[in-house]
Amino acid sequence: MAVTVTAIVLIFHYIRKSKAEELLLTFSLSLILSGALGNLMDRIRFGEVIDFLDVYIGSYHWPAFNIADSAISVGAVLLLVELVRRGKERDMDFKGPRM
């Protein structure tokens, strides 16, 4: 739980420091934050995270998960997209436009 609380504090700090025009960054961090808070609430209330979505495709079984896990996963993917996009923008600024 200490790692989760530390992550929540850091994410909240990054959200507060982000600029208003950084919508994708703020949205992705908010999804990760909300998922972490949801899982922390489960740990406090039940002593463990309750996974209730269980998906089967034919005989293949996807690992069980919950809504908080989904929010963290979607937020992480969006954060990765934003960081890659920013890296490309910085690369363009540094090298100048390619002809």
* Catalytic center residues: 51, 69
Structure tokens at 91: 């690369």
Helix (H) or strand (E) holding 15: helix 2-17
70 vs 76: CA distance, rounded Å: 10
CA–CA separation, 50 and 80 (whole Å): 27
